[in-house]
Structure 1
Amino acid sequence: MDPATIIGILLAFGSVFAMVSLEGAHLSSLLLPAPMILVFGATIAVGIASGTLKDFFVAIKALPGAFRGKVQPPEQVIEQVVGLAEKARSSGLLAMEQEADAVDDPFLKRALQNIADGTDGDELRVLLEDEIATRSKSDRVAAKFFSSMGGYAPTIGIIGTVVSLTHVLENLAEPAELGPMIASAFVATLWGLLSANFLWLPIGSRLRRLADLEIERMTLLMEGVLAVQAGSQPRLLGERLRAMIPAGTAAKNEKAKADKGKDAKLKEAA
């Protein structure tokens, strides 16, 4: 689990609350039900209106993933593929059927089953590329939904402020109440800006980034299993797949792997 989103959102709201406290104001002056209901309710409503109900349900289903952020590390994918290559060289491609039964990843399972069934390499590549493209479109629907809400929220906040100011103008005969009423009117704009920049846009960007990482993982698996089908030597296959990983990520994974090996040796020595 990668808690970056949770940490970032908490720090962002914490900064606002810290500012309010340092200014000597009260949090209750910001936590007004009426503008919050308008901003959050109307933002979600127009988000639904901008797409389809299916898009909305896809976005809701993807929301927990934005906070969990579970993505298989590239080095782990490479080790898995290299293990498959070693198995194929020792037991033949038919052994991939047993490996397919042992994995939980549907994408890898289908790829291995097709290898065991003798599917042509070019046809298998087309099949896997189509599946990757479909997954990319599906993942980006959720990201687009939250990003679009991030665009609507500030404007909806302004609408709430205009509505409240209209109510203020109706009560000009009561000067003593104008100050609190005007202050309350701008709370809607505040929540529009806060929800857009502290919630919707970060969640949309997070889902888009997770989608990119998942596509990279699936692409790595695709190239790996196709090389296994072609009979690539396991060590060379591992080097080839590592060359596909960005330098910073590869170095980090190699360091983690080396540290893990050192710890294992220390335990054996003890």
Structure 2
Amino acid sequence: MDIASLLGIASGIFLIVGAIFLGGDIHNFINIPGLMIVGGGSLATTLLTFQFRDVFAAFKAAYFVFSKEKEDPNEAVAIMISLCQISRRQGLLELSKIETDSGFLKKACGLIADGSSNDVIRNALITEIESLKMRHFIVQDVFRKMGIYSPAFGMLGTLIGLVQMLSNLQEPSQIGPAMATALLTTFYGSLMSTMFFLPIAGKLKARTILEVINLEIMLEGSISILDNNNPVILYEKLSSFISARLRKPMKEMVGR
């Protein structure tokens, strides 16, 4: 589980709810019509903007933000060093037998084992990376758009509440609920945007950047295996993708 994401959401909700409790009754901040306007309107507009499968994929990806630990680039470097050692001892053809959950790595190993040229391997894997970036951009854009739509529907709810309030000035009992809807929809829209949708989009973008780094490590590692097949040179080249303070020494990666 990603502790940072969980801690961020939990602390934000705790501080906001705590401030509400300190300032009065939390029931004053519960308004079903306002939630319907902001939540329902944002979701409906998002479904109008994107295909259903993209929206479903976005919410599925958001779940993984909280449930899946981020991948360590050092692991990708260690995997490529291991493949380099296998290819030196048993030959490049042995890489075609590698069992892995990564389709990208499986493809890279297959291209190496088939004796493909550097350009063929590089172009094929770069295409894979660019395709992944585009798929992830759409997923991130779903939450970015929801972060834009929710405050807009908050303002729309405010206008609805004001119209209701002004049309019932002769009935004082109706002014309070209408005013609550007017104010709380703006609150809901801002809360959903700044507390949920935009941070999730940012987190997904950060995960995409990290995943692309791992894939680029595999790409450059594949080319290096085909070029020189030297674990030391491979380590020095691939470790450059990782910050110096986070970089693990080669002796911790050899023989894994």
Q: Distance in 2 between matches of 1:203 and 1:136?
A: 17
SS of match in other structure, 1:155: helix
**Structure 1 residue ranges without an equivalent (≥5):** 261-270
1:83 and 2:78 correspond = no
TM-score, normalising length from structure 2?
0.91
SS of match in other structure, 1:254: coil
Name the structure 1 match of 2:183.
186
Name the structure 1 match of 2:238.
241
Q: Distance in 2 between matches of 1:129 and 1:184?
A: 51
Measured after TM superposition, the shift of residue 55 of structure 1 is 2.5
- Please tell me whether the aligned partners of residues 160 and 185 of structure 1 are also in contact (alpha carbons under 8 angstroms): yes
Measured after TM superposition, the shift of residue 244 of structure 1 is 2.0
Measured after TM superposition, the shift of residue 179 of structure 1 is 4.2
Moved over 6 A (4+): none
Q: Distance in 2 between matches of 1:5 and 1:31?
A: 25
- Please tell me whether the aligned partners of residues 143 and 201 of structure 2 are also in contact (alpha carbons under 8 angstroms): yes
Measured after TM superposition, the shift of residue 176 of structure 1 is 5.5
The amino acid that maps onto 1:183 is A
Measured after TM superposition, the shift of residue 31 of structure 1 is 1.9
Name the structure 1 match of 2:14.
14
Q: Distance in 1 between matches of 2:74 and 2:179?
A: 57
1:224 and 2:218 correspond = no
Measured after TM superposition, the shift of residue 130 of structure 1 is 0.3
Q: Distance in 1 between matches of 2:144 and 2:164?
A: 32
Q: Distance in 2 between matches of 1:18 and 1:245?
A: 40
Q: Distance in 2 between matches of 1:69 and 1:109?
A: 22
Measured after TM superposition, the shift of residue 76 of structure 1 is 1.1
Q: State the number of aligned residues.
A: 252
SS of match in other structure, 1:186: helix
SS of match in other structure, 1:252: coil
SS of match in other structure, 2:246: helix
Measured after TM superposition, the shift of residue 210 of structure 1 is 0.7
Name the structure 2 match of 1:252.
246
SS of match in other structure, 2:77: helix
Q: Distance in 2 between matches of 1:45 and 1:5?
A: 26
Q: Distance in 2 between matches of 1:17 and 1:2?
A: 23
Q: Distance in 1 between matches of 2:47 and 2:181?
A: 28
Q: Choose from 112, 124, 129 the match for 1:127.
A: 124
Name the structure 1 match of 2:166.
169
Counting aligned pairs with the same residue, the percent is: 28
Question: Any idea what the Cα deviations from partners look like across 1:219-258, whole Å, max 9, x if unmatched?
Answer: 11110111112233101211111112233xxx23438x97
